[in-house]
Chain A
């Protein structure tokens, strides 16, 4: 591997600057009325120990929909995710998955934890990690059957990690590591995928890599809920945006919700929004992403 030498980057003029990413093709909103949401969270409140809680969260995701959760550090994004997958007890509220109460259908929700919380030196290869999602399907006192192996293979092929199945997980790149965890959700046959900060600490190419995998999941009708710090990405790549800062600020289609008023309300002191006479809105984010 040769070290890549960065070519000279010529930045475009500010006035003609557009986000180079291609925005998401929105799901058709017609004929949506009679579809059961993949996940519906009503009035979720979590107060637990020292972790930042969250109050009165309401949102729902249709199959295949992609939702961005944005908010400053300590706004309760991770807490909300953990409550939704059942890692933390809810103080109040209801969660239904596929129209049913979550008590019965919890393995339909898959959770990808923050990157730092995984031990990447663990002696397991890609195949092992994805097979872990099948533990419940396999059952006690049994070894993986043909259906389990096939599910793992399908999942790995969908995220294009099949050729790397024998690689130890620590030897993968940042984008590949996230793809393995997405494959795990696929092997679990989850209908809803929650990802906590999947884009923290990855470079632009890995981000594009992950995004293309998320597009694959969209085709498979998996609802994806992603917490992110990348506001530019949130504005272009998601059907809906959920803004929280301890409590819900806004939830709705990106085009309606993603505006200066909601953003400054969400981020408070962490984010400054200028909207002068020019058609541009300038957003300055001074929160340190990694702290």
Chain B
């Protein structure tokens, strides 16, 4: 058994060394060249930030089983984006003090996200409706509203694809500042209220009996998810947003069984996916959003398979040992 392990480790080491050699030789072409362009450098930075942010918030989404909510929310911000798009075409963009009119679509998305968050939160409050039903109603309604708005504008098709599937190359310098600002705020809030979030996620009953403001934290969490989605919108778009939130977090949950480690690991995996996806998209000439999501899915598949194999091996060893014990007791 040990011999096989040693051989496997050696061959893996060999592989890593070879890869490293190739990387070093072609470092400029492979790694540095894309970063010569300021636009690409900016997009990579944005993608890494979004990877970290969605890893942290996505961990909470995964442990609370809110992936349907997250998916619904990312779709229901479409009307906000559509309104702001129409207004920016008409040259009638509201000026937000301090930020300027840098990215009207982002603010529209944030507005629509908040509206649907509170709508869903309100509908599910008294358990008159099952929460997935309430989410489904708001999600479908808002998404339909968005598409209806879109259908009234001609030549919208191109921009619609950007909203649905992301347009990382549209990240301007000011967008990057917004992403940095929101990421720092959201991650700080999660760190500050970590133990409260953990408590209301695991045992809301205990949180209530301890007289914690559970409703406040529930809405705060919904707000954080909405912000994360809006910020990540430009990188992967509406339809792939969910993957960025849950796949790295789910991968981390396979590896560790403590929440803070899960968040840290998910952030690392998320940013690694962003980097891998970015270079894959540059060298293989595919869209960035799908490339990032595919990287995340690949890592998840690898970890899942690895753990399944490990379990199998452990079970096999156990059986082997048992058989040996049986035969020794017989003899």
- Residues of A with Cβ closer than 8 Å to B? 2, 85-87, 106-107, 109-111, 113, 117-119, 122-125, 128-129, 131-133, 135-136, 138, 140-141, 168, 184, 188
Q: A123-B63, A123-B259, A123-B262 are in contact. Are A106 and B209 (CB under 8 A)?
A: yes
State A273–B257 Cα separation when bound (angstroms): 49
Contact sample, A vs B, 20 pairs, CB 8 Å cutoff? A85-B209, A87-B208, A109-B209, A111-B206, A113-B205, A119-B63, A122-B63, A122-B201, A122-B259, A124-B202, A124-B257, A125-B257, A125-B258, A129-B202, A132-B203, A133-B210, A135-B195, A135-B196, A136-B210, A141-B192
Q: A128-B258, A128-B259, A168-B257 are in contact. Are A107 and B211 (CB under 8 A)?
A: yes
Minimum C-beta distance from B253 to chain A (A): 6
State A275–B199 Cα separation when bound (angstroms): 50
B208 contacts A128, C-beta separation under 8 Å? no
Q: A106-B211, A107-B210, A138-B195 are in contact. Are A132 and B205 (CB under 8 A)?
A: no
State A111–B205 Cα separation when bound (angstroms): 8
State A124–B262 Cα separation when bound (angstroms): 10
What 0/1 readout, one digit per residue, does chain B (80-97) give for beta carbons within 8 Å of chain A?
000000000000000000
State A27–B80 Cα separation when bound (angstroms): 67
Minimum C-beta distance from B261 to chain A (A): 8
State A141–B63 Cα separation when bound (angstroms): 22
State A118–B199 Cα separation when bound (angstroms): 12
In this complex, what residue of B is CB-closest to A134?
B195
CB under 8 Å from chain A, chain B span 197-227: 198-199, 201-203, 205-212
Residue count of chain B within 8 Å CB distance of chain A: 27
CB under 8 Å from chain A, chain B span 35-59: none
Instruction: Let me know if B256 is at the binding interface, CB within 8 A.
Output: yes
CB-CB under 8 A from A123, the residues of chain B are 63, 253, 256-259, 261-262
In this complex, what residue of A is CB-closest to B259?
A123
CB-CB under 8 A from A125, the residues of chain B are 257-258
State A117–B201 Cα separation when bound (angstroms): 12
CB-CB under 8 A from A168, the residues of chain B are 257
Question: Which of B208, B212, B256, B262 has the most C-beta atoms of chain A within 10 angstroms of its own C-beta?
Answer: B208
A132 contacts B202, C-beta separation under 8 Å? yes
B258 contacts A111, C-beta separation under 8 Å? no
CB-CB under 8 A from B203, the residues of chain A are 113, 118, 132
A119 contacts B209, C-beta separation under 8 Å? no
- Residues of B with Cβ closer than 8 Å to A? 63, 65, 192-193, 195-196, 198-199, 201-203, 205-212, 253, 256-259, 261-262, 322
Could you list 5 further interchain pairs (A-B, Cβ under 8 angstroms) beyond the known A107-B211, A128-B259, A135-B212? A2-B322, A118-B202, A125-B258, A133-B210, A138-B195
A128 contacts B192, C-beta separation under 8 Å? no
Q: A132-B198, A135-B195 are in contact. Are A124 and B259 (CB under 8 A)?
A: yes
B205 contacts A136, C-beta separation under 8 Å? no
Q: Which of A2, A111, A140, A141 contacts B209 (CB 8 A)?
A: A111
State A289–B211 Cα separation when bound (angstroms): 32
Minimum C-beta distance from B268 to chain A (A): 16
State A86–B206 Cα separation when bound (angstroms): 10
A119 contacts B202, C-beta separation under 8 Å? yes
CB-CB under 8 A from A110, the residues of chain B are 209
CB-CB under 8 A from B193, the residues of chain A are 140
CB-CB under 8 A from A136, the residues of chain B are 210-212
Minimum C-beta distance from B70 to chain A (A): 18
State A118–B201 Cα separation when bound (angstroms): 10
CB-CB under 8 A from A184, the residues of chain B are 206
Minimum C-beta distance from A53 to chain B (A): 17
State A113–B209 Cα separation when bound (angstroms): 12
Minimum C-beta distance from B213 to chain A (A): 10
In this complex, what residue of A is CB-closest to B261?
A123
A87 contacts B258, C-beta separation under 8 Å? no
In this complex, what residue of A is CB-closest to B262?
A123
Q: Which of B192, B198, B212 contacts A124 (CB 8 A)?
A: B198
State A66–B63 Cα separation when bound (angstroms): 36
Q: Which of A86, A132, A138, A188 contacts B208 (CB 8 A)?
A: A86
State A188–B208 Cα separation when bound (angstroms): 14
CB-CB under 8 A from B63, the residues of chain A are 119, 122-123
Minimum C-beta distance from A238 to chain B (A): 23
State A41–B201 Cα separation when bound (angstroms): 30
State A107–B211 Cα separation when bound (angstroms): 8
In this complex, what residue of B is CB-closest to A82?
B205
Minimum C-beta distance from A150 to chain B (A): 17
State A184–B202 Cα separation when bound (angstroms): 13
State A119–B195 Cα separation when bound (angstroms): 17
State A39–B208 Cα separation when bound (angstroms): 19
Question: Which of B193, B205, B211 has the most C-beta atoms of chain A within 10 angstroms of its own C-beta?
Answer: B205
CB-CB under 8 A from B259, the residues of chain A are 122-124, 128
State A119–B209 Cα separation when bound (angstroms): 18
Minimum C-beta distance from A280 to chain B (A): 41
B199 contacts A132, C-beta separation under 8 Å? yes
State A265–B199 Cα separation when bound (angstroms): 41
